[in-house]
Amino acid sequence: MDELNYKNYRIEAENICVDYHGKVALYDANLKLKAGQICGLVGMNGAGKTTFFNALTGFVNISKGKIRINGESLRIAQQDQSIAYVPQSEGIDSQFPVSVWDVVMMGRYGSMNILRSPRESDIQAVKDAIERVDLMELSSTPIGNLSGGQRKRTFLARAIAQRASILLLDEPFAGVDIRTEKLISELFMQFKNEGKTILLSTHDMIHVREFCDLVLLINKTVVAYGETSEVFTPENITSTFGGMSPDVLFGPES
C-alpha cells in the first residue's frame, strides 16, 4: 500500500496478536477504518473485543503486527489525544468525590498544562459535552449518586470533551434505558456526520444493522469483516458464536 493511501485510514491494524502471559487472546486481527465510518465489533464473551480496544489504545502491547492511527504510530496518537476510549465499566471508584463536571473535565487533561488549570476553551468544551448528553442539570452531582445510564452518559461526555477523532466504545448500550439508548444512537449519527470514526462493541444485532457501516466479527481472530449488509449474515454470525444460530442467540426475529 502506498503512503498516501495509508494516510486515508484513521485506524489501521494489521495482523495484530496479543497474548497474556503466553495465552493467546487475539491473533492475526485486521481492521481498517476511515473518517465517518461506524464499525461494530461483535463476538462472544472472551472473544477478544476488550483486548482489541486495549491494543488500539496501547493499554496492552501487541506481540506481532502493526497499528497505525491517522497514518502515524500509536505513540503519536496517544500524545495528540486523537483516540478516546469509553470502557464497559469505569475504573473510577463511585465513592470518589468527583462530580459529573470533574469527570468530563478529565477529557481535557491531555491538552492542559501541568497545573491543569482550565482555560475558557476547556470550560466551554466541558459545557458543550455535558449538554450533548443532556446532563446539565446533574453537572455538580457526585458520580456515585448517578444511575448506571447517567454514568455512562458522563463518560461519553468525557470522550466528547476530549474532541478525539476516533471513539472506541466498549458496550455503549449495555444497561441503559430506551431514552438513553435513543440519545446515544443519535449522538453516534452526529459523530458520523462530524467525520469521527467509531468502533463499538455490542451484543445487539439491531444496533449493528441500524447504524454500523461495517462489522468486524471476531472469535480470537477475525471471522469476517466488511460492509454490514454483506458480512452480517446468519452463517457468519453462527461461525462467530461457536456454531449457535442467530435465532437461538437473539430470538427468531433476528
Ligand X SMILES: Nc1ncnc2c1ncn2[C@@H]1O[C@H](COP(=O)(O)OP(=O)(O)OP(=O)(O)O)[C@@H](O)[C@H]1O
DSSP E strand boundaries for the chain:
9-20, 23-34, 38-42, 64-69, 83-86, 166-170, 197-201, 214-218, 222-227
Query: In this complex, which beta carbon is closest to ligand X, that of residue 10 or of residue 220?
Result: 220
Q: Pick from 25, 130, 183, 184: which binds ligand X (CB under 6 A)? A: 25
DSSP for 168-236 reads EEESTTTT--HHHHHHHHHHHHHHHHTT-EEEEE-S-HHHHHHH-SEEEEESSSEEEEEEHHHH--HHH
Q: How many residues bind ligand X (CB under 6 A)?
A: 10
CB 49 within 8 A of CB 201: yes
Q: Can residue 205 be called a binding residue for ligand X (CB under 6 A)?
A: no
Query: In this complex, which beta carbon is closest to ligand X, that of residue 20 or of residue 145?
Result: 20
Restricted to residues 30-69, the positions that interact with ligand X (CB under 6 A) are 43, 45-51
Q: How far is the CB of 108 from ligand X (least distance, A)?
A: 28
Neighbours of 20 (CB within 10 A): 10
Restricted to residues 210-229, the positions that interact with ligand X (CB under 6 A) are none
Query: Residue 198 and residue 196: Cα distance in Å, rounded?
Result: 6
Q: How far is the CB of 195 from ligand X (least distance, A)?
A: 27
Q: Can residue 172 be called a binding residue for ligand X (CB under 6 A)?
A: no
Q: Can residue 234 be called a binding residue for ligand X (CB under 6 A)?
A: no
Q: How far is the CB of 56 from ligand X (least distance, A)?
A: 12
Query: In this complex, which beta carbon is closest to ligand X, that of residue 20 or of residue 96?
Result: 20
Q: How far is the CB of 209 from ligand X (least distance, A)?
A: 19
What length is written for the chain?
Answer: 254
Laid out side by side, the sheet with 214-218 consists of: 83-86, 166-170, 197-201, 38-42, 214-218, 222-227
DSSP character at residue 73: -
Q: Pick from 1, 7, 8, 20: which binds ligand X (CB under 6 A)? A: 20
Q: Can residue 113 be called a binding residue for ligand X (CB under 6 A)?
A: no
Q: How far is the CB of 115 from ligand X (least distance, A)?
A: 34
Query: Residue 104 and residue 124: Cα distance in Å, rounded?
Result: 11
In the complex, which residues of this chain contact ligand X (CB under 6 A)?
20, 25, 43, 45-51
